[in-house]
A and B are shown apart, each in its own frame.
Chain A
Amino acid sequence: MKAVCWHGANDVRVETVPDPKIINPRDAIVKITSTAICGSDLHIYGGYIPTVQSGDIIGHEFMGEVVDVGNAVSNLKIGDRVVVPSMIGCGNCHYCQRDMWSLCDNSNQNGWMEEKLFGSITSAIYGYSHTFGGYAGGQAEYVRVPFADVGVVKVPKDIPDEKLLFISDAIPTGYMGAELCDIKPGDTVAVWGCGAVGQFAMISAYMMGAEKVIGIDRFPERLEMAKNFAKAEIINYEEVDAGEALKEMTGGRGPDACIDAVGLEAHGVGFEDFYDQTKQKLRLETDRPHVLRQMMLACRKGGTLSIMGVYGGFVDKIPFGAAFNKGLTFRMGQMHGQKYMHKLLELVLDGKLDPSVVVSHQLPLEQAPHGYHIFQQKEDNCIKVVLKP
């Protein structure tokens, strides 16, 4: 089959590799019909994520058709159309059973790395480094889906992929970002980052009762989408001081909740050893601790910070005194896709949400290197790339 393989910074290649096969009884093999490049894939692409090995197949947002199932999978059959969540959960551990799927105890077979790094083991993620399990990703013609009997959601056949694909990753990430804000009627929610996750966070915030939603970014096409699609007020932080603007827009109080949807994982540094080296290497388009700092200063007293942009290692010079003295609440984590997917599918089927709006580019899988390039460089007004194997 053809697959997108990583070979070093800014070097992804579409290669011919062996087809995946059933390894464990709870596996399924899915023939991919659509797969997206996620903002966080850019940091693998840029070479900032340690323990990605040359030749690794990447990609964690995908859907397709079941073509084979292991003998312990009784609820899926060949021909079923499915969306697969980006986090791999076993469904049986303490965390999965309490709907905290991204904290799964059993899916990450390289747990010892995380245990050293985080003190505990979190779930595996498709195509996202060996620290996160080393599973082959979904930017390929076929993918092996472990624990397929609990993770995936079956979807009807008569709806285009583009309306369903983001139930895998971007929508639940945005939705959970809003849910963590514990929104009360009348609240104002500010969202940093107006990519796909930010768009879905803004829409979700309105659904949960926010009165005003403010989107912050620097790319005009994303801000335009925040205004038209998510009905948000907008701040271009290159034109105005975002902190000052937020104060002005909220009667001097600051937003009740702030969502970090920037998703820059470039500080997702695996091991302390990599820290200084990586820090020197970073030439980020949006420096992420800057967003965290800005959120801590902009948020109203007693407000909530919801952090969905992924952090992997260490961040420097965080104004902790501000957070402490203002009594802020921090909520964060990798999203628990399996908890939200069915509900989100309903919203799409009921016509209450049309996620296809965020797709700016559809390319054949073979053109993945071009897709990565224009997404990274934000060329051609690129917001979201969908690859078609």
Chain B
Amino acid sequence: MASSSGNELSKGQGAEAGETERWASLVGGGAMVLMGLSQRSLRGVLMALAGGGLVYQGVTKQSTIQQAQEAIGINKSIKVEKTVTINKPADELYRFWHDFENLPRFMKHLKSVTVQNDKRSHWIANAPLDSSVEWDADILEDRENEFISWASVEGADVENSGFIRFKKAPGDRGTEVKVVLEYSPPGGALAAAFAKLFGEEPEQQIGDDLRRFKMLMEAGEIATTEGQPKGG
């Protein structure tokens, strides 16, 4: 299992073209990603990709990094990137994930996801103090057994977007599953609730979610010790 933070892009000097390319390769099609980055969000990237037919902007390496920093800087939003290898074929994993109503089974913060049509779904996440946050999301791009991207629509409590990519692992190891998510924390009273919602380490939470996804897919159940006896 490998993991690295999208925040690396904000480390400035250390960020070389390799990382931009890495980001580009995540969604496949470097030129379009660079275009999307100028829209200053992952959502922009994904929308640009979904829109298709974009032209490469001639940018220097350094200014590309700057664009990336601006677009994916941690100040404005939370970016999480996590990969796990699952000992199952991609089509099986893709099918399970594609039914978004399955997601609350292993994503602890989701209360429910309701699929409304083949594009739109309604998401409810648990928030502290018995409250919840809700949003509608649209699928932006959907490549069978390979890639799904989505983004919240206008007026979401928590603006967010993300994609999942399924790629055959080398040898006999199953499928490499990569998830990239971006959340823009809401302002005002919701901001504090939001911070609690995703904890201090959103990366770890997404990692735990992905591990539960893997357990469910491989072992058919999620390992737990909740409810076992203990002395006092």
A interface residues, Cβ below 8 angstroms from B? 1, 3, 5, 7, 13, 15, 17-21, 23-26, 54-57, 72, 90-94, 97, 105-109, 111-112, 115, 120-121, 124, 133-136, 140, 144, 146-147
Contacts and interface: CB of A to CB of B under 8 A. Distances in A.
A147 B229 contact: no
B229 A19 contact: yes
A24 B232 CA distance: 24
A13 B231 CA distance: 9
B7 interface: no
A135 B225 CA distance: 6
A11 to B, nearest CB: 11
Contacts of A25: 220-221
Contacts of B225: 109, 133-136
B229 A17 contact: yes
Nearest to A14: B231
Contacts of B87: 92-94, 97, 105
Contacts of B76: none
Nearest to B231: A5
Interface in B174-232: 174, 204, 207-208, 211, 214-215, 218-232
Contacts of B204: 112
8 contacts: A3-B229, A17-B231, A24-B222, A24-B224, A90-B215, A91-B219, A105-B218, A144-B228
B1 interface: yes
B22 interface: no
B151 to A, nearest CB: 28
Given A57-B229, A111-B211, A135-B225, 17 more contacts: A7-B231, A25-B221, A55-B231, A56-B230, A90-B219, A90-B223, A91-B219, A92-B87, A93-B87, A94-B85, A97-B87, A105-B214, A105-B218, A106-B218, A108-B223, A109-B223, A135-B228
A241 B225 CA distance: 47
Main secondary structure of the interface of A (DSSP, over half): loop
A91 B221 CA distance: 12
B21 to A, nearest CB: 25
B173 interface: yes
B109 to A, nearest CB: 16
Contacts of A54: 231
Nearest to B3: A115
A72 B220 contact: yes
Given A94-B87, A120-B1, A18 B229 contact: yes
A57 B174 contact: no
B229 A20 contact: yes
A144 B228 CA distance: 8
Contacts of B218: 90, 92-93, 105-106
B223 A1 contact: no
B230 A17 contact: yes
Given A109-B224, A112-B207, A136-B225, A147 B231 contact: no
A94 B174 contact: yes
Contacts of A124: 223
Q: Which 5 residue pairs across A and B have the least CB separation, nearest first?
A: A5-B231, A55-B231, A109-B223, A90-B219, A15-B231
B228 A23 contact: yes
Contacts of A26: 219-221
A24 B222 CA distance: 8
B219 A92 contact: yes
A133 B211 CA distance: 14
A120 B85 CA distance: 12
Nearest to B84: A105
A72 B216 CA distance: 14
A106 B230 contact: no
A3 B232 CA distance: 11
A5 B228 CA distance: 13
Contacts of A133: 223, 225
A8 B224 CA distance: 24
A4 to B, nearest CB: 8
Interface in B68-86: 85
Contact of B230 (A55, A115, A120): A55
A80 B224 CA distance: 25
A147 B219 contact: yes
A376 B174 CA distance: 46
Contacts of B211: 111, 121
B219 A94 contact: no
Contact of A146 (B173, B208, B214, B223): B223
Contacts of A107: 223
A341 to B, nearest CB: 20
Interface in B48-75: none
Contacts of A147: 219
A1 B221 contact: no
Contact of B231 (A3, A91, A94, A112): A3
A235 B218 CA distance: 48
Nearest to A120: B1
Contacts of A136: 225, 228-230
A93 B221 CA distance: 13
A134 B222 CA distance: 14
A6 B207 CA distance: 31
A369 to B, nearest CB: 13
A169 B219 CA distance: 24
Contacts of A146: 223
Contacts of B222: 24, 109
